Chain A
């Protein structure tokens, strides 16, 4: 039986113009609000903002790496609460609320919670593999 820890080790990623370009290429999300300081300023932001799902995927990675691959996200429900500026460090955390349910969040290095919600974790079944075609 898999243990569900009270917390998973936090995982931190420092964003940069380079990670923003990599993530834009990965997702084909070239929205200039993530890449262009001038465009971001016109949109009312002090700097370009991190792609929302870059923070979300940091959480997905935190579950995978923090459990040494034993746990995965089954269901997740989050909202993006605040923008993260390019150049800031992001930290993903998960705290058990009971059973398989965890409160999850991503916090920027100025203390703001930029993503929050909850997730249901489940053991990753090593036999549950898509067969090779």
Chain B
């Protein structure tokens, strides 16, 4: 992995990152329950897949500037669910970027699947700090 910072200039539309694997293990389930309360049943809450999306987004693009702002979010769930204990695979792609009023706006597309079954597609709109 390169130590070169992923700046706005370097992040080109079409650039792909990952895959990043996020296991739905006991540590993550405990973390989820520490914020939102008990998980019922043996399927992952939809929000746990969203939390994994953020982890993948952060792990996939490193090193990154400090102070990026998460400005907006789109999500589309397929309705398929992952079971606790499975591993979710995420891919990240730069969809678009533009500079507006001195700020660096980037839209990232993130897809999640488990065992080849699509679970979620998200778009993170970020203001990139550098």
* A and B assemble together: yes
What residues of chain A have their CB less than 8 Å away from a CB belonging to chain B?
13, 18-19, 22-23, 25-29, 31-33, 43, 51-54, 56-58, 60-61, 64, 72-80, 122, 124-125, 128-130, 132-133
B43, A53: Cβ atoms under 8 Å? no
- Nearest 8 A/B pairs, CB to CB: A26-B31, A57-B47, A22-B34, A79-B72, A60-B47, A27-B54, A52-B70, A76-B75
Q: Which A residue sits closest to B31, measured CB to CB?
A: A26
Q: A28-B58, A43-B67 are in contact. Are A72 and B115 (CB under 8 A)?
A: no
Which residue, of A51, A60, A78, A122, has the highest number of chain B Cβ atoms within 10 A?
A60
A53, B71: Cβ atoms under 8 Å? no
Residues of chain A contacted by B31 (CB below 8 angstroms): 22-23, 25-26
What residues of chain B have their CB less than 8 Å away from a CB belonging to chain A?
27-28, 31-32, 34-36, 43, 45-47, 50-52, 54-55, 58-59, 66-68, 70-77, 79-83, 86, 114-115, 117, 125
Given A28-B59, A58-B36, A132-B83, 12 new contacts (CB under 8 A): A23-B31, A31-B66, A64-B46, A74-B76, A75-B77, A76-B75, A78-B74, A79-B71, A128-B81, A130-B80, A130-B86, A130-B115
Minimum distance in angstroms from B50 CB to a CB of chain A: 6
Minimum distance in angstroms from A131 CB to a CB of chain B: 8
- A-side interface mostly: mixed
Residues of chain A contacted by B45 (CB below 8 angstroms): 60-61, 64
